[in-house]
Amino acid sequence: MSSDPISHWQPDVRSAPALAQRLDRLAMRLLPAGLTALVAILLAAPTGIPGAIALIPGLAMASVFFWSVWRPASMSVPVVFCLGLLLDLIGFAPLGVTAFAFLLLHGTAVHMRFGLMRLNFITLWLTFTLLESGVCWLAWFLVSSLSFRIMPTAPVIFECMLTAGIYPPFAALGNWAHRKLSNPEPQL
């Protein structure tokens, strides 16, 4: 036995987080996507709010983009996939279309993340508008080709504009939540 107790001390070894701590971190991590899914499910109920159904994809797209840019740990690839699949299951679109489109949006947002974070809000908004238009038209193309019928284009244009309009209030809310919720990102 060594007389020097400090020789056993290894500064690299940190204690593993307790189970409760881990659950807490997981809940924090899943909160944005969980809230988005919950809102989508609630909006699908016949509450009588006009245009509630049209809000669902727009809100989901804004959420996927916002969290992919600012906190990708909360909006990871499997989470985005599950969110898209849930929207496909709730709606009438062919299964997998929304999931595919959302994954592309997420991939692009994460890839351009550090560039996007430096932009001011207006430019970020314009970028989002471009990206979500692309996603809307991709979904339109996929639905049309899977059902062998050219779907009407008016809803797509409406959806693009609605989603662009949803983004600023969503971003304001998201910024607040981003500051308030503790960050589940690995702190390096």
Partner 1 sequence: MIPVSIQIRQALDRLWLPAMLLLSIAIMLLGWANQRVTVAARMATADVLSPLWSLVALPGHEVSEAVSELHSIGHLARENAQLRSENETLRGWYDVAVSLTQENATLKENLHWMPDPLPSFVTGRVVGDIGGLYSHAVLINAGPANGVRVGDVALAADGFAGRVTETGVHSARILLINDVASRIPVLLESSHGTAIMAGDNTSTPRLIFYAQDNHPVEGERVVTSGQADLLPTGIPVGTVHYIHAGTPVVSPYARLNHLSIVRVFNFETGTIESPDAPGRVPVTSERGIRSDGKKENPLDGMTLGGVVESATGRSTGGSAPQHQDTPDNDKPASSHTVEDHPQNQNEDDNSPGDHPPAQKSGSITPRSSFSLPPAGRG
Q: Judged by CB under 8 A, which stretch of 26-34, 122-130, 151-159, 173-181 contacts partner 1?
A: 151-159
Q: According to CB under 8 A, which one of 28, 81, 112, 129 is a site residue for partner 1?
A: 81
Nearer to partner 1, 37 or 171 (CB): 37
Q: What angle do CA 46, 133, 54 make, to 5 degrees?
A: 5
CA–centroid distance for 48 within its chain: 26
57 binds partner 1 (CB under 8 A): yes
Count of residues that interact with partner 1, criterion CB under 8 A: 47
Nearer to partner 1, 147 or 175 (CB): 147
Residue 85 buriedness (CB in 10 A; 0-12 / 13-18 / 19+):
middle
DSSP result, 128-169: HHHHHHHHHHHHHHHHHHHTTS---SHHHHHHHHHHHHHHHH
Distance of CA 186 to CAs 1, 35, 82, 86, Å? 37, 22, 23, 28
Q: According to CB under 8 A, which one of 99, 105, 109, 116 is a site residue for partner 1?
A: 99
Min dist. Cβ of residue 94 to partner 1 (A): 5
Q: Judged by CB under 8 A, which stretch of 6-14, 61-69, 102-110, 176-184 contacts partner 1?
A: 102-110
Tokens for 138, please give them. 């991709």
Tokens for 73, please give them. 């740990």
Min dist. Cβ of residue 179 to partner 1 (A): 26
Question: Where do contacts with partner 1 occur on this chain (CB under 8 A)?
Answer: 41-42, 44-50, 52-54, 57, 76-78, 80-81, 84-86, 89-97, 99-100, 103-104, 106-107, 139-140, 142-143, 146, 149, 151-152, 155-156, 159
